[in-house]
Amino acid sequence: MLKRKVEIVVISDVHLGTYGCHSKELLQYLNSIRPKKLILNGDIIDIWQFRKSYFPKAHLQVIKKIIAFATKGTKVYYITGNHDEKLRKFSNTKMGNIQILDKLVLNLDGKKAWFFHGDVFDASVQHAKFIAKLGGWGYDFLILFNQLINWVLLKMGREKYSLSKKIKASVKQAVKFINNFEKTATDLAIENEFDYVVCGHIHHPQIEKKCSVKGSCLYLNSGDWVENLTALEYNNERWNLYTYNQNGNKTIPIEETIEDNGVITDLLSAMLIHKKI
């Protein structure tokens, strides 16, 4: 199958290991592209909720696909987020074409791009981690409950409904948080003379030019693979927001046959839940 060549692909907030993760849809997308650079902008593996008893085959195949990209020449940058913060102990580790980082700066056709997850701006993560983790569990339950509702709606011939999006849109504090997040990120980027600032974390896909008295920059957020199913793509000096269309995408078989036999799952379990990590 002919694959689209893409200079840079950015995905974030996949949350592998949770019920809300749309791993099959992500696999279809990844199998349709051939990126030169793949930037994983945080919360790819949900270590907060990781348990060996729930890590479906499709979730494992996403990891295999990422490894396959690297073995075929794609440069893979894994930027750590809050849900996979334990990997920050391995920051600046490089394994072939895979590199673990806390942030990344790239020169894109003469313009400076700053990539980071964005949890540093979230007070609940920085100062009330226990509450943030409870919120993560609650969010996962909400997504799971929403899937049941959507199953019933589809059976009735009605359109899907997003509970979390409705809640976010109706709660003023949630809207204010998103606006403050975007402003903080862009103000810092402008102050440090970056042309692009690329984040994740808030599950709100966006491409928007932001201006202040000190200048302007392009704010980008890759969204997530729990609700929005989005990614950022950079080609020919332009950014585009890719949105997965469930009706318009055909199932693509997994091509890579990396042997597992439980080894990768065991390795994840040892790395992610060991107390001394």
Confirm whether pTM is higher than 0.85.
no
Domain count of the chain? Answer: 1
Print the domain residue range for 25.
4-273
* Residue 86: partners with Cβ closer than 8 Å, 6 or more residues away: 47, 271, 272, 277
* SS3 call for 95: strand
Among 239, 198, 235, 217, which Cα is nearest to 81's? 198
Give the number of other CB atoms < 10 A from CB of residue 2: 6
- Please name every residue paired with 241 in a beta bridge, in sequence order, or none if there are none: 232
Q: Summarize pLDDT for 43-102 with one digit per residue, the tens.
A: 999 887 776 677 899 999 999 999 999 999 999 999 999 888 889 999 999 999 999 999
- d(CA 277, CA 267) in angstroms, rounded, equals 13
For residue 115, give Cα distances in angstroms to 64, 118, 133, 199, 243.
Answer: 24, 9, 24, 6, 20
CA neighbours within 13 Å on the CB side: how many for 113? 18
Range ranked top by mean pLDDT from 27-41, 76-90, 166-180, 257-271? 27-41
Around 37, how many Cα atoms within 13 Å sit in the side-chain half-sphere? 19
Domain with residue 122: its CATH number is 3.60.21.10
SS3 content of the chain, % helix, strand, coil (to 5): 40, 25, 35
Closest by Cα among 121, 228, 239 to 183: 121
pLDDT digits (tens, 9 = 90+) for 100-145: 999 999 999 999 999 999 988 754 444 334 344 444 555 565 566 5
Q: Please, which pLDDT band fits residue 259 given cuts at 50, 70 and 90? A: very low
Strands (E) in the chain, as ranges, are: 4-11, 33-41, 75-79, 94-95, 98-101, 104-108, 111-115, 196-199, 206-212, 215-221, 230-235, 238-243
Give the Å distances, CA to CA, from 103 to 51, 165, 219.
Answer: 27, 28, 16
